Chains A and B, each alone.
Chain A
């Protein structure tokens, strides 16, 4: 996978996600994964962007074939589980349960003139707790150290989704 020449094409990715809403292919979306974490903490290396979306198509395929077709018609390239924009991999993930809640509660931001949404820090922590890999534990620790985490909100999310933070 080729990293971009001078910057990540994130504005174009976010614009494309808005385009999926405008085209009626998805209901809503938000930036999740490592790039969402970077919204709150120091930058670190990540090789892709994760866009979590609430599907309009409630079938098992969640409208992903139509999303791929729409973006490929705009020049995106498919490579395994990613769609590539200018060589930068983007994964479109159908949100459900905790991630759907994260999309609905996401913070609004303006990124280089593009309206976007990014997961709240508390939801990133809860999702990391639900996954539980070593890098998820590191992400939780990093967010707790560097982000302004609403502990009451986080406790409520964890309780409702029957999750616990890893022990240090």
Chain B
């Protein structure tokens, strides 16, 4: 993903980012191998 796009995502409101995390979790569950390892799908704590 381009840096500009990543910066744009980083500047989104926190609530919107949390909604995207929930979407990523759904994708990871549906496509576990695809979602894993992509930059926007890194797991973390």
Contact = CB atoms under 8 A, between A and B. Distances in A.
Interface string A96-111: 0000000000000101
A33 B43 CA distance: 11
A74 to B, nearest CB: 21
A138 interface: yes
A37 B17 CA distance: 11
Contacts of A8: 18, 21-22, 25
Interface residues of B, number: 27
A109 B18 CA distance: 14
Contacts of A7: 18-19, 22
Interface in A31-57: 33-35, 37-48, 50
Contacts of A10: 18
A40 B7 CA distance: 10
Contact of B22 (A6, A34, A146): A6
B45 to A, nearest CB: 5
B34 interface: no
Given A3-B26, A42-B40, A44-B41, A146 B7 contact: yes
Interface string A1-29: 00110111010000000000000000000
A151 B28 CA distance: 35
Contacts of A145: 3, 6
A125 to B, nearest CB: 14
Interface of B: 3, 6-7, 9-10, 12, 14-15, 17-22, 24-26, 28-29, 35, 39-45
5 contacts: A39-B17, A44-B39, A44-B43, A45-B21, A45-B24
